[in-house]
Amino acid sequence: MSGLSETERVGFKKILGLMTIPDLLSLSDTVTNKMIVVENTREAVETILSFTKNAEELLRRKKVQRELIFRYLAKEGVVMPPNSEKHQLVRRTLELWSSAKVTGNDRTGIEQMEEFLGAELVSLRLLALSRDERLLFSPNPEPCGLKALASPHGLVLVAVAGTIHRDEVCLGIFEQIFGLIRSPLDNNSWKIKSVNLKSKVRRRSVGRR
């Protein structure tokens, strides 16, 4: 699963936004070994970022052309010689991202918003949070931490809030909303139509080395 920081994700979204649609879709196929079929550029970008292990690996991909990285750095105010080779641009981009400071409302917590479209991507991301990042989401069963709302069309929204833990350490808080729809074949079966997760995790350091 993705090992990218929030700074790297933001940077890559800008770089990928400079790519042609055929190259972007082709890169998505390459990164996932054609295991996931995407329907639009937005899904392609999220899929690429989700299946990238580290920033350097993605920057060195053939489809991420030298000109794209050069244009990205220029837009970020980083001046590089026009004849710079790709490996020099990659190194400078990594330096830019590693020196970036993460800012938050209280410099003690970081709010992170991620959006994944499609059942498979959502499932993989939730699995990564528990398996790879070893996070435990502990819901608050009290009325203030659990709410449900049903629409006239049968869609049910379930909102839950609680704390985030790793081992015995409380890392922060979360709010999660599930959109549920009843299965047309079995009235006692519900399917997850959408998931929205907002988390605020405390970090020991706001800088990334």
Residue bearing the bigger pLDDT, 206 or 147: 147
Render pLDDT for 57-88 as a digit per residue (tens, 0 to 9): 999 999 999 999 999 998 888 878 888 899 99
Place of tokens 């550029």: 41
190 forms beta bridges with 182
User: Exposed, middle or buried, 22 (CB in 10 Å: 0-12/13-18/19+)?
Assistant: exposed
| Residue range 35-56: mean pLDDT, rounded | 88
Question: Which residues, 6 or more positions from 209, have their beta carbon under 8 angstroms from its beta carbon?
Answer: 98
Residue bearing the bigger pLDDT, 99 or 90: 90
Domain boundaries, the chain: 6-99, 109-202
Cβ atoms 90, 56 nearer than 8 A: yes
Residue type, 27: L
Predicted local distance difference test score (pLDDT) of residue 28 = 92
pTM over 0.75: no
Predicted local distance difference test score (pLDDT) of residue 101 = 43
Which one, of 171, 160, 170, lies nearest residue 203 by Cα?
171
**Chain-wide mean pLDDT for the chain?**
81
CB atoms within 10 A of CB 45: 21
Predicted local distance difference test score (pLDDT) of residue 72 = 92
Asked if residue 40 has pLDDT above 60, the reply is yes
